[in-house]
Amino acid sequence: MVFQKRSLAGPETLGHRLRQLRQEARLSLDDLARELKVASKYLAAIEDGRYQDLPGQVYARSFVRLYVARFGLNEAAAMERFDQEYALTQAARPSVRPLLAPRAKTDLSWWWRHLRLLFAVLIVLLAASYFGWQIISLYIPPDLLVIQPPTDMTTKEATITVSGQTDPGARVSINNQTIEVQENGQFSEQVDLRLGLNTLEVTSKKTRSGERIVVRQVLVEQ
């Protein structure tokens, strides 16, 4: 069958002209849909000018081109008319506005939320550091300073005073003998000496800590 090129004249839309040609050919939409292998709902949308119901401009142009070629319309003029009508249809579509505007990152509440988060993280880190140090300090040997006798010495006395300073709450012993320690950590104790070399081992220890040991040697001459 040979189709003659027909003009696209008159003020009607492209869809109206195509419907007119289809009706003149005594074809139903379903008949034409089977022939062109295009869904009848899309052909009806083309005839009604409802281009927004077509699956995108690429498919729409393909369907219109098949329809135009079937009835011998001037393809260039028909596609130009379609592009104009399609553009008008798209321009008339209402713009979709977002329900909620995106929150700007410079918004004061955004900064406030993040500042509070950073502050909370800082507090947690400080608290963890504090409790961690408290736990570690339980196992660190206490400080111990033996003031008397200051160094290894020689004497003719039968006794000597051992005094010094340690951490409050620590227990002090001299040669495994526990002595009294004041609340501020100071201690002073008289120790008996024997003739010859005496070794004084001063030890300070807390409940769970290691021992801190200071050794002094005192030589007693006759």
**Given this model, what pLDDT does residue 161 score?**
92
Please state the domain extents for the chain: 14-92, 144-220
The whole-number mean pLDDT for each consecutive block of 10 residues of the chain, a chain of 222 residues, reads 47 85 92 91 91 88 91 90 87 53 56 80 90 79 89 88 92 93 92 90 88 90 86
CB contact burial 170-185 (16+ within 10 A = b; e otherwise): bebbbeeeeeebeeeb
- Report the topology of domain 14-92: 434 Repressor (Amino-terminal Domain) (1.10.260)
**Given this model, what pLDDT does residue 1 score?**
44
**Given this model, what pLDDT does residue 94 score?**
53
CATH number for domain 144-220, candidates 3.30.70.330, 3.30.479.30, 2.60.40.10, 2.60.40.2310: 2.60.40.10
Q: Is 202 within 8 Å of 214 (Cβ atoms)?
A: yes
**Given this model, what pLDDT does residue 3 score?**
42
- Contacts of range 150-155, beta carbons closer than 8 Å, 24 or more positions apart: 151/216, 152/216, 152/217, 152/218, 152/219, 153/216, 153/218, 153/219, 154/218, 154/219, 154/220, 154/221, 155/193, 155/218, 155/219, 155/220, 155/221
